[in-house]
Structure formats: C-alpha cells, structure tokens
A and B are shown apart, each in its own frame.
Chain A
Amino acid sequence: MMKIFRTAIHGQPAGPRRPMLAVIIAGFALSIALPYFGLLNKYVIFVLISVGINVILTISLNLVNGFMGEFSVGHAGFMAVGAYGAAVTSVNVIPRWMGAAAFPTAILAGGLAAALVSLFVAIPSFKTRGDYLAIVTLAFAMIVKSALENMDVLGGPRGFMGMQQFTTLPWVFFWMVLSLWAIRNFVYSAYGRGVLSIREDETASELSGVDTRKVKVLTFALSSFFAGVAGGLYAHLLQFINPSMFDVIKSTEMLIMVYLGGVGSIAGSILGASIYTILMEVLRPMGVWRMVLMPAVLILLMIFRPRGIMGLRELRWFVYKAIPHSGAAAKGQNIGNT
C-alpha cells in the first residue's frame, strides 16, 4: 500500500514500465476481442465506451484545474467545438467512400478546432485568475452554445446529424490511452513543472523564469484538444448532437469526475471517471432523482474531501523519473549542513 501511491511529481525509482505496456496491449486486445466474440452485450459496451470518453474529458479538465490550479468550469464548450468540428468534417468534408479511414481524421479535426478556440480562454487567463477566470470560461461555454444555436448551417437548436457510428470500443480505448499518455508526458516535463508551479504560486513561478503565458497557452490547447477529441467520439457514438447537450450540466459532470477521483492525479482521473459513470448507470432506476444526487455529491465532496480520492497523489506506474536510481547525482562540496 505504502509503495503504490506516491505524492505526485516525484517518487522512488519508477520501477519497470513494461507492466504498463503489457496492460495497454492486453486492454487493446480485449477491447477488440470481447465485442468481436459477443462476450459483452450492447449495453455493457455502451457503458464502457462512455467510461472511456469520460476518462478523456476528466484528464483533460484535470490538467487545467488540478495540475495548473486554474479555474475552468465551462469545459463543455470545448467538447461542443470538438463534437461539431468532427461531425462536420466527417459528414461534409470527407467523402463517404473513405469509410472508417476518415474517422481519425475527423476526430483530429475536432480536437484541433477545440485547441484553436482555447485561445479565447487562455488569453484572458493571463490577466484574470480565480473566480473571474471561472466566469470567463462559463461565459465562453455559453457563447459557444448560443453561437451554435444561431448557426442554421449546423442545424441551429435542432442539432446536427448524419454521422456514421464510427465510435467503437477499440477506438475509444486507443484515444483514451493516447490522451493519458500525452498528458502524463507533458506533466513530467519542464512545461509540466511550469504548470505545477503556476498552481503553487504564479508570481514565484514567473520570477523563477517560467514563461507562464506560453505554458498557459500550451496547457489550455492540450487540454482543449482532448476535450474536443472526446466531443468527436461522442458525436460519432450518438450520431446526433445538439447545442444543449453541452450545457452547464455537462461541465458540472466533468467537475464531479475530477474532484471525485482526485485533483492533479492521472490515476485519480481514471478512477473518478470510472466510478462516476458506472454509478450513474447503476442508479438509472432512480430516474430524475439521480440528477438530484449528482450535484449533491459534488457539494459533499467540496466540503469533506475537496481534493478527491487521489488528490495530488499518483500511481507509481505513471511517474516519470529522469534518473532512475537516486544516488546517481554528482557528489559535490557540501556546506552548511550543520
């Protein structure tokens, strides 16, 4: 137990990383095999796909809120841009005969569109912090929603359809692993240390030479990219999207998953998204009262465990260490050690 979890961003020798690779390969194989041999019914597959999409959303939001300590509460806006971007690409831009080969292109387009739009939030974040930035992000999400409702080419409030159901379990697994891997790599790099230092003390970070503007732009872009990817996957799962799917309630769900699993933790993101998605499915018989439970959980979390289950701790497998075995550091003159 003691050895499994580490305080984030450092750790003992990270241990062999091959088990991680084995888990990924096994997971990918299972994601193909289980549906193929009919070992899972349609409903279970749907739930697993939802878990995957939610993991992507959670790690994406966690990067901004948990790792960087900024304050995005309108993440559904980026998801919406990604969903519409991917949907339009696959329906109107890519010719149909390309079939499933068009799918990754469409998802990529959705992600890039979201990353581009993230500048609208990144730039205000240079000047505003805290609750003001929260309003900026919420207002941004509102603008995206209102703008989509005003665009007749995209179906306006009625929504947009015509996408094929490209989103399958293996694809979701692939994008989920990609998002976790990329964000983990980013966090364990000089940029990632910049991200963490902004959370800890932005002024001290600036004064230590961190180009906080660049770090913020990169972080918002990366985070939004994957929120957009999740939106694209979602659009090609339901084959129908409309602006009100991406409202404050969607953003609230993402917040719950982040603060349930744990801020500033990759393992926590996986945990939070999985627990929440499955719990909501199990509670489906509760009907509309399930929707009452959801915000109640968020309030209780904030009061009693604001950092979540894994807050600021990390699973050893995810930790990257530049020097695998401590003691490799140069021995130098040591003074003042009295």
Chain B
Amino acid sequence: MAYFLQQFINVLQTGSTYSLIALGYTMVYGVLSMINFAHGDIFMVGAFLFFLFVSTLKLPFVPSMLAATVLTALLGVATERFAYRPLRGAPKMSAVITALGVGVLLEHLTLAINPYPRHIPAMFEGSGTWSAGGVVISQLKAAIIVFSLLMMALLDFTINKTKLGMAIRAISWDMSVVPLMGVSVNGVIAATFAIGAGLGGIAGVLYSLAYPVINPYMGVMVGWKAFISAVIGGIGNVRGAIVGGYVLGLVETLTIVFLPATYRDVTAFSLLLILLVYRPYGLMGKPKTFKV
C-alpha cells in the first residue's frame, strides 16, 4: 500500500511537469492550429535562464524565478513574431518545419553558450521531508506539485473567466470574429504565446529544482511527453491537457512498475501512435468532419 502511495506521488510530480508544458502546446494549437514543436525547448531555456539568474548573477530564488518566467514568455512572443507570423498564410508544412527549426536553433544556441551541462545550486537544503505510514515525501516535491496545481487553476480561471480568455477562446473558434470584439488578433495570439511559454518557463524552473543537472537537450524528451499529454487530452482542449499530463504520468509509472524502466519512452510513443491513428481528437475531444 505504501509502495503504491509512493508511486502515486511520483505520478503527481511527473504529471505536473507534463501538464504545465502541455498547456503551451494546446493553447497555441487552439489559436493557430499549429503544433509548436519548439515548445519543449522553451521549457529548457526556462531552466537555463533560471540558472543564469540564480547561479551566475547570484540573485535570490523568487526574483530569479520571476525573471526566468518573464523572459521565456518574451521568447515565446518573439518566436511567434519572427518565425511563425510570416508563415501564417503559408502551407501547414512550412510552419511545422519552421517550428522544428526553431527548436533545434534554441538547442544549439544554448549549447554554443553552455558547452557543458550546468548544475542548479541546491537552494532548499534546509527543507525536510514528511513521512506517514512508510510514505515519504520531500517538502520540495510537495511544493512543486502544489505550485503547479495552483498555476493550472489560475490559467483555467484566466481562460474561462477573463476577457483575454474569452478572446482566446473566440480565436480558437473562428479567427475572423475577434476583430468584431474590438480586440486585435495579433495581440491575442501574442498573449497566448506569452502565457504558454511562461508556463513552460515555470515548468523548467520547477523541473530543475527537482533534477538540478540541466543540458540543452533536456527539453526534447520532456517536450515530447508533454505533447503526448496534450494529444491524450485532445489537442486544443485546455482541461484535456491538464488531465492528459497526469494520465501520461500514470501510464509511465505503471510501465516502470511492470517493465524495465527503459521501456518508458517506447510505451509513451506507442500510445501516441495508437491515439493519432484511432482517436486523433484525444480522449476528451470530439471528431471533426471535413467538407468537400
């Protein structure tokens, strides 16, 4: 029993990371119908920016995290402005390939600046652990999980209850109605990228607290997992992305429990392939019909 509770905490932790990043994929897909393959690398840049502030500039934790989040949000806006916007009318193929290119560009830029893996200094050494009935959870882990859940709740509120959220939902529905509402389409798209990338940046910071060795390719696999989470929940669907992250976390944990740990990725990708072919609109989405 304790064993399963312990695994359950692991599910919550990996699931939180996946969900936070999955939100970025899903929001961008919602407004632009485009898969932003660079999003996993935005997450990576978030971790490196955090390293810059905390370790190189020696700033305290909270300002470092804030600065890293704001800068990744700006990076998201910049990729949209300079790489994706010129291609908005172009064939889908061009946009997808550009996104792949932006991802590799971010990886290699980071690599050129940081040729060696970096270590995030341990900041919460004093923090202890709680244990009950054989289940042990570090306060850091608990904080990461709770903070992630808070961020997701905040986003859900923004999407459903604010004017910006309404505009984002309106664009997902039909881009041409938004100007009627007195909102600029480009502004809303930029805001979407800012929010998505900002959440990715926060995920990067939290992740690097739990796994302090960071490298330029760390976003590739995590990004893919987050993307799979978004597909599980039905890409374009915000709540779906949140649920999808935890579902994937569960699937992966189960894989590790029953199979050798190295099968984790194969399982996740096989799940993706099966979903794409048989249920491309995800577990929570609805099928679309096409028109001739």
Task: Give A residues with C-beta under 8 Å from B.
Answer: 65, 69, 71, 73, 123-124, 127-128, 130-132, 134-136, 139-140, 142-143, 146-147, 149-150, 203, 248-249, 252, 255, 259, 288-289, 291-292, 294-296, 298-299, 302-303, 306
Known: A146-B265, A147-B266. A291 touches B111 (CB 8 A): yes
| Pair A73/B96 contact, Cβ less than 8 Å | yes
Given B34, B227, B262, which contacts A149 in the complex, CB threshold below 8 Å?
Answer: B262
The dominant DSSP class at the B interface is helix
Bound state CA distance, A199 and B233, in angstroms? 31
| Pair A306/B104 contact, Cβ less than 8 Å | no
| Pair A73/B115 contact, Cβ less than 8 Å | no
Task: Give B residues with C-beta under 8 Å from A.
Answer: 34-35, 83, 86-87, 90-98, 100-105, 108-109, 111-112, 115, 220, 224, 227, 231, 260, 262-263, 265-266, 269-270, 272-273, 276-277, 280, 292
For B83, the chain A residues whose CB sits under 8 A away are 299, 303
Bound state CA distance, A149 and B269, in angstroms? 14
Nearest A residue (CB) for B217: A247
Bound state CA distance, A150 and B263, in angstroms? 7
Known: A136-B276, A150-B262, A288-B111. A71 touches B93 (CB 8 A): yes
For A140, the chain B residues whose CB sits under 8 A away are 273
| Pair A255/B87 contact, Cβ less than 8 Å | no
Nearest B residue (CB) for A149: B262
Bound state CA distance, A147 and B272, in angstroms? 15
For B269, the chain A residues whose CB sits under 8 A away are 139, 142-143, 146
| Pair A135/B263 contact, Cβ less than 8 Å | no
28 chain-A/chain-B pairs, Cβ below 8 angstroms: A69-B93, A71-B93, A71-B96, A131-B35, A132-B280, A135-B231, A143-B266, A143-B270, A143-B273, A150-B260, A252-B104, A255-B97, A255-B100, A288-B115, A291-B112, A292-B105, A294-B108, A295-B100, A295-B101, A296-B101, A298-B100, A298-B104, A299-B83, A299-B98, A299-B105, A302-B98, A302-B101, A306-B94
Known: A128-B280, A143-B270, A146-B269. A65 touches B112 (CB 8 A): no
Nearest B residue (CB) for A142: B269
Given B87, B105, B273, which contacts A136 in the complex, CB threshold below 8 Å?
Answer: B273
Known: A73-B100, A134-B96, A302-B87. A146 touches B105 (CB 8 A): no
Nearest A residue (CB) for B263: A150
For A306, the chain B residues whose CB sits under 8 A away are 90-91, 94
Bound state CA distance, A132 and B263, in angstroms? 24
Given A135, A203, A248, A252, which contacts B276 in the complex, CB threshold below 8 Å?
Answer: A135
For B263, the chain A residues whose CB sits under 8 A away are 150
8 A-B pairs besides A291-B112, A298-B100 with CB distance below 8 A are: A71-B96, A131-B34, A139-B272, A146-B262, A288-B112, A294-B104, A302-B101, A306-B91
Known: A71-B93, A295-B102. A135 touches B272 (CB 8 A): yes
For A139, the chain B residues whose CB sits under 8 A away are 224, 269, 272-273, 276
For A259, the chain B residues whose CB sits under 8 A away are 97
Nearest A residue (CB) for B224: A142
For A292, the chain B residues whose CB sits under 8 A away are 105, 108-109, 112
The 9 A-B pairs at the shortest CB distance, nearest first, are namely A298-B101, A295-B104, A295-B105, A291-B108, A295-B101, A146-B265, A299-B101, A302-B98, A292-B108
Most buried by A among B95, B100, B270, B292: B100
B31 to chain A, nearest CB (A): 15
Bound state CA distance, A294 and B109, in angstroms? 11
For B220, the chain A residues whose CB sits under 8 A away are 248
Nearest A residue (CB) for B106: A295
Most buried by B among A147, A149, A296, A303: A303
B292 to chain A, nearest CB (A): 6
Known: A136-B273, A295-B108. A252 touches B96 (CB 8 A): no
For B111, the chain A residues whose CB sits under 8 A away are 288, 291
A299 to chain B, nearest CB (A): 4
B124 to chain A, nearest CB (A): 33
| Pair B273/A130 contact, Cβ less than 8 Å | no
Bound state CA distance, A152 and B276, in angstroms? 30
For B94, the chain A residues whose CB sits under 8 A away are 302, 306
Nearest A residue (CB) for B262: A150
| Pair A128/B276 contact, Cβ less than 8 Å | yes
Given B112, B227, B276, which contacts A124 in the complex, CB threshold below 8 Å?
Answer: B276
For A291, the chain B residues whose CB sits under 8 A away are 108, 111-112
Bound state CA distance, A184 and B197, in angstroms? 44
Bound state CA distance, A292 and B110, in angstroms? 9
For B277, the chain A residues whose CB sits under 8 A away are 123-124, 127-128, 136
For B266, the chain A residues whose CB sits under 8 A away are 143, 146-147, 150
For A135, the chain B residues whose CB sits under 8 A away are 35, 227, 231, 272, 276
A274 to chain B, nearest CB (A): 21
Nearest A residue (CB) for B265: A146
For B86, the chain A residues whose CB sits under 8 A away are 303
Bound state CA distance, A65 and B92, in angstroms? 12
Bound state CA distance, A146 and B225, in angstroms? 14
Nearest B residue (CB) for A247: B220
For B260, the chain A residues whose CB sits under 8 A away are 150
Most buried by B among A71, A131, A132: A131
| Pair A288/B108 contact, Cβ less than 8 Å | yes
For A71, the chain B residues whose CB sits under 8 A away are 93, 96
For A289, the chain B residues whose CB sits under 8 A away are 112
Nearest A residue (CB) for B220: A248
For A142, the chain B residues whose CB sits under 8 A away are 224, 265, 269
